[in-house]
Amino acid sequence: MAQLPARRSARNITLVDPSREFEDIYDRMGQLMSMAFGDLAFTPALSAPWTPLADITETDDAYVVEVELPGVNKDQVNVDVNDRELIISGEITEPQEEEGRRRRRRARRTGRFEFRATLPGDINPEGVNATLSDGILTLTVPKSEAARPRHVEVTG
């Protein structure tokens, strides 16, 4: 069994619990941030939105955009197409703490998110299809007829 490290001072020896030390530091940092910036630093409406991870691929007929949005429901996502610009936005609310439970760590993102991309060619905005499955938002954005590649037959 691992033994906790000891902190020595001139008068006594105390055992140190590393997880408790980090929790105390985290609490103290929160207090310092509140003192320095007030509640302004922790107001979600005033903070900048975060950008989810995404991949954009291209086929002959369309652009395919896959955006990682784990834990998001379809009613929490807005998709807008303006000319060739694609804007995906929404908000993930922080879950309510259950009684009898204390948060030890929070690594998942909450708050407003926004992903913007300008697609390289002309698109057909009426044909955009969006599906949300297993935390991945997949958008299929069809190219306009003028932007699709054409095969030209060479004659003799």
Number of structural domains in the chain: 2
Domain contains 61 = yes
pLDDT in tens, 27-38: 788 778 777 776
Q: Is residue 2 domain-resident?
A: no
CB count within 10 Å of CB 95 equals 11
| pLDDT value for 129 | 96
Judge residue 143's burial from the number of C-beta atoms within 10 Å of its C-beta, 0-12 exposed, 13-18 middle, 19 or more buried.
buried
- Tokens 């001139």 identify what position? 10
Whole-prediction pTM: 0.63
Mean residue pLDDT of the chain comes to: 82
User: Which amino acid appears at position 24 of this protein?
Assistant: D
Same domain, 91 and 16: no
Residues 117 and 138 in one domain: yes
| Bigger pLDDT: 77 vs 93 | 77
Instruction: Quick: pLDDT tens for 40-74.
Output: 555 544 568 899 999 999 999 999 999 999 989 99
Q: Is the pLDDT of residue 5 over 80?
A: no
User: pLDDT tier at 77 (50, 70, 90 boundaries)?
Assistant: very high
Q: Are residues 71 and 123 in the same domain?
A: yes
For residues 24 and 30, give the distance between their C-alpha atoms in angstroms, rounded to a whole number.
10
CA distances from 77 to 9, 17, 55, 88, 93 (A): 55, 42, 17, 7, 12
* Gap between the Cα atoms of 156 and 99, Å rounded: 81
Backbone angles phi, psi at 33, to 5 degrees: -65, -40
> Are residues 62 and 83 located together in one domain of the fold?
yes
Tell me the two tokens of residue 32. Answer: 């310092």
26 shares its domain with 69: no
Asked whether residue 69 falls in the same domain as residue 88, the answer is yes
Range of the domain at 37: 11-42
Cα–Cα distance between 20 and 18 in angstroms, integer? 5
